[in-house]
Amino acid sequence: MAKIMVQGTASSVGKSILVTALCRIFKQDGYSVCPYKSQNMSLNSYITLDGKEMGRAQVLQAYAAGLEPEVYMNPILLKPTSDKKCQIVFNGEVYGNSDAKGYHNLKVEFKDELKKGFEELEKNFDIIVMEGAGSPAEINLRENDIVNMGMAELVDAPVVLVGDIDKGGVFASLVGTLILLSEEERARVKGTIINKFRGDIALLEPGLKMLEDISKKQCLGVVPHFTLALEDEDGAVELNKQVTDKIDIAVIKLPHISNFTDFDALSSEEDVSIRYITNVREFKNPDLLIIPGTKNTLGDLQALKISGLSDKILEYSKEGEIIGICGGYQILGKTLEDPLGVETNLKVMDGLGLLDIKTVFEEKKVTTRVEGTINSKVIEGIEENIDLYGYEIHMGKTTVGEDAMPLVKINKKNNHVENYFDGAINKKGNILGTYIHGVFDGVNFRQYVVNKLRAKKGIEAKASMEYESLRDKELDRLADIVRKSLDMDKIYEAIGIKR
């Protein structure tokens, strides 16, 4: 079975996007292809059709491969809850919480399951494109490794090593990484890729020749720096802080922000600028304020109060438009209770009090795909119901009081017929919240939100595009860029496929 593993000299060198590109290229070339990352650490997660949780990076890679995302593409997801602890999601379900040392010891238990799962994958696909995490040269973590060279050895996968020239020091990073590998690990590396190049490649070529001479590894290509409307993998990316277009949508960058991919569809809209706020000075006067999801709602609510952002939000709420998603929805409420200590040792906190809702945290995590409708009677200015869809990932149960109205009638949950309400909106109609991640992906709700902001600024209403269609075109553009940049004959040779 053909397979290839993309490893990097560090985090954020472009492993995820190159795996995405290779999945698309192999699919275009007529192969059945599947992405795979044994372990992903990210607060950006997704719920599959069967209600399982996985990392968002493998979701985009699945779409590139023409597949519905499934948890076998990312069997272990680590979701940090603090600087030292994380929640472990294994095969789509919560396994438990652990500190770094505890998880390092747990990895031995997962190894056999990973091998079995991977062997089943190999029966069903022509090519598996694997992704490492961070760097394979983290020599302190080499023992029990299940995501870089340890995983490559487990399934006998060839490796390509990626370095980011935009950071500087790419030659040293590639050579230094190879030096720190064992002789057996170096033999597994079939070549190097330089990513995010800007400028005249003729000036780089002498360095490529020297790199090959020093490393004894062929350079498989140089990928240019590019910008596409595709989601970023995790919080390691640099989030925009500037207003870049007519409509200013500001997102509070909570300390434990999760699922910021919720806003990718919004950023694809004409006239729209998405920026991230970390302090009071950056607040300014946005057209829409979004309080996003978080892995630590109570801790992040406390941080808002300490920073003074909570006061700024309260002042803005008198006339401004606010949307809260998941943890952000909970934060907008009157009280948040955590009697079981699910998130922190804080048992109860006052929320911002902008929505008449109360939240109690429960031990069981809700992980569901949902479809629903916003009744035209609930939101002023719409003449017909708004259909929307998305997914829920939360550990709280929220009740709506008399001074707010339920927002969304849920019609389907995990593809089964349902009949219950989600979210809330205040009577003035300028503050609303929902548990639904991906709520802007559907055309109807996104178009309503953005056109309402356009109308306030005297901008003509516009029809929104289907985000899925836009994403598919961007994936083809990505494949075209990377195909032209890499020596695909050498890539196929590395994975053992003759063309």
Residues 341, 55: Cα–Cα separation, whole Å: 25
Q: Out of 34, 219, 394, 437, pick the active-site residue.
A: 437
Query: Angle at CA 366, nearest 5°, toward 365 and 370?
Result: 165
- Please enumerate in sequence order all residues whose Cβ is within 8 A of that of 208, keeping only pairs 6 or more positions apart, or say none: 194, 219, 222
437 is catalytic: yes
Q: Residue 346 and residue 364: Cα distance in Å, rounded?
A: 18
Cα atoms in the 13 Å half-sphere on the side-chain side of 43: 26
State the catalytic residue, choosing from 225, 326, 394, 416: 326
Kindly state the helix (H) or strand (E) to which residue 482 belongs, with its residue range.
helix 467-485
Encode 356-374: b = buried (16+ Cβ within 10 Å), e = exposed: bbbbbbeeebbbbbbbbbb
d(CA 175, CA 421): 56
Residue type, 328: G
Compute the distance between CA of residue 89 and CA of residue 341 in angstroms, rounded to an integer. 19
Asked whether the beta carbons of 226 and 13 are under 8 A apart, the reply is: no
Q: Which of 5, 2, 1, 3 is nearest to 159 (CA)?
A: 5
Catalytically annotated residues: 326, 437
